[in-house]
Amino acid sequence: MNFDEIPIRVRYGETDQMGVVHHGNYALYLEMGRTEWLRKKGISYREMEESGIMLPVVSMSLNYKKSALYDDVVKVKTQLKKTPAVRIEFDYEITNQAGEILVQATTVLAFIDMKTKRPIKCPDYILGKLTV
């Protein structure tokens, strides 16, 4: 399974006066989807960082289709785009309770050695967990 879905209830502080989710909050929703996808594969950011690996976002693209509103329960679907090398790419789809697509997005993250601050290839222990 190279995708995962998580529900997120829109909180009041994530919206404007009209109850519409501020566009910047979708990046957080993507991060939540991505970290849970990795966690279910047995990979945690904490363990990566403890082993000297950072995984920063180097590119993010979002296409907004429709607004999420206060108290909506949105579903974030996260999918691995391809087997990672130096980069790992994810596609996302955020839908509302009616199944309508609100946002389609892509993120690209790079594996970085914390000491050298240079890109490295995806460690074998991570690659092994992603191909299960």
Positions marked active-site: 16
Q: Quick one: tokens of 81?
A: 């785009």
Residue with tokens 């790992």: 88
Half-sphere CA count of 16, side-chain side, radius 13 A: 8
Question: What torsion do the CA atoms of 13, 17, 19, 25 make, to the nearest 10 degrees?
Answer: -50
Half-sphere CA count of 82, side-chain side, radius 13 A: 4
> Do 79 and 94 meet the contact criterion of CB atoms below 8 Å apart?
no
Q: Quick one: tokens of 24?
A: 């910047």
User: H or E segment at 121?
Assistant: none
